[in-house]
């Protein structure tokens, strides 16, 4: 199997060299790594030109400079990179953010998962950042694949139409959920981790404003209000304590008041809410069983 990697990069001068070293050290070398310089205003262009001159498997695309940053532009950059490499014979396409790194066998591990399961459409792993582990500290399950490092089987990526540009965000979530709706398996494999070197969602924003933005995103991606109550309660137990959850709640309510348009469409939202309710029932069922077991153990020991 052959692998295509695409990295959209905007003002990532401080991260790109680390990612380059991480990919160069891999036991499974990509067929091509396309880096899309998405209108950077720093000196990323100079660094990328220098790095691409050192290897024949790296290609750089420079898009015009722009002053604003949004997730719709990121999706457009990814799709531009995909189009530039569409004539290559690859089986899997990986979307890598510029601010990640991983162990030398990371790509090989993920490619082995695609070889072992022909219905696997999207794969990735949990991530760690400054003591945070998304496998433990997140409210998401094992079928959610973090956007910083998402790998798609090529036929799956083309069936979902690539990334849907949405200025407010959620492009990676839309892609993974759409794949599941079409019958593909999506999985985050807990055997590995990738390192995220910047607090998630805080590029050019504070932690609280990021939480507020995630609350807005939860609304326009169609989160069930019931699910959102549990998500906010869970977030209140994480740092920053309480206020992070309140910021998440404020963002969700503010988006609801403004009735922000939902880009996924009603079919995707219904599918998403059914998954959320099934996941919530499983979580609550596990807690109830644990409570009964704990009570039985205490009674047996008395």
> Which is it for strands 132-133 and 92-96: parallel, antiparallel or unpaired?
unpaired
How many CB atoms within 10 Å of residue 151?
Answer: 25
Model confidence pLDDT, tens digit, residues 2-39? 999 999 999 999 999 999 999 999 999 999 999 999 98
Residue 52 clears pLDDT 90, i.e. is over it:
yes
Residue 301 clears pLDDT 60, i.e. is over it:
no
Which of 108, 116, 92, 132 lies closest to 192 in space, CA to CA? 108
| Burial call 34-63: b when 16+ CB within 10 Å, e when fewer | bbbbbbbeeebbebbeebbeeeeebbbbeb
Higher-confidence position of 42 and 302: 42
Residue 72 clears pLDDT 80, i.e. is over it:
no
Tokens of 205: 């924003």
Q: pLDDT class for 106, splitting at 50, 70, 90?
A: very high
For the residues 278-284, what does the mean pLDDT come to? 87
Counting every residue written for the chain, the total comes to: 302
Strand partners, 37: 9, 62
Neighbour-count burial of 124, counting CB atoms closer than 10 A to its CB (0-12 exposed, 13-18 middle, 19+ buried) = buried
Cα 31 to its chain centre, rounded Å, is 22
Cα 127 to its chain centre, rounded Å, is 10
Domains of the chain by start residue, with CATH: 3-196 (3.90.550.10), 206-302 (no CATH)
Q: N- to C-terminal Cα distance for the chain?
A: 59
């Amino acid at each position: 199997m052959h692998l295509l990697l695409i990295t959209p990069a905007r003002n990532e001068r401080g991260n790109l060299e680390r990612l380059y070293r991480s990919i160069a050290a891999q036991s499974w070398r990509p067929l091509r790594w396309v880096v899309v310089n998405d209108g950077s205003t720093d000196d990323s262009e100079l660094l990328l030109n220098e790095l691409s001159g050192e290897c024949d498997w790296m290609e750089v695309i420079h898009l015009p400079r722009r002053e604003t940053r949004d997730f719709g532009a990121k999706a457009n950059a990814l799709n531009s990179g995909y189009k530039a490499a569409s004539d290559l014979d690859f089986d899997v396409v990986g979307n890598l953010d510029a601010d990640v790194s991983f162990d030398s066998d990371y790509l090989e591990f993920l490619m082995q998962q695609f070889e072992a399961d022909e219905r696997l459409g999207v794969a990735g792993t949990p991530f760690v950042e400054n003591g945070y582990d998304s496998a433990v500290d997140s409210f998401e399950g094992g079928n959610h694949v973090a956007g910083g490092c998402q790998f798609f089987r090529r036929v799956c990526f083309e069936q979902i139409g690539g990334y849907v540009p949405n200025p407010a965000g959620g492009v990676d979530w839309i892609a993974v959920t759409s794949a599941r709706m079409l019958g593909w398996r999506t999985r985050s494999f807990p055997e590995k981790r990738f390192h995220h070197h910047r607090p998630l969602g805080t590029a050019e924003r504070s932690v609280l404003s990021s939480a507020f933005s995630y609350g807005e995103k939860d609304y326009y991606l169609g989160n069930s209000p019931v699910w959102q109550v549990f998500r906010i309660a869970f977030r209140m137990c994480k740092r920053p304590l309480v206020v992070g959850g309140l910021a998440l709640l404020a963002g969700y309510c503010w988006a609801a008041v403004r009735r922000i348009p939902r880009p996924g469409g009603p079919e995707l939202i219904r599918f998403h809410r059914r998954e959320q309710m099934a996941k919530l029932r499983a979580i609550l069922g596990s807690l109830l069983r644990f409570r009964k077991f704990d009570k039985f153990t205490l009674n047996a020991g008395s």
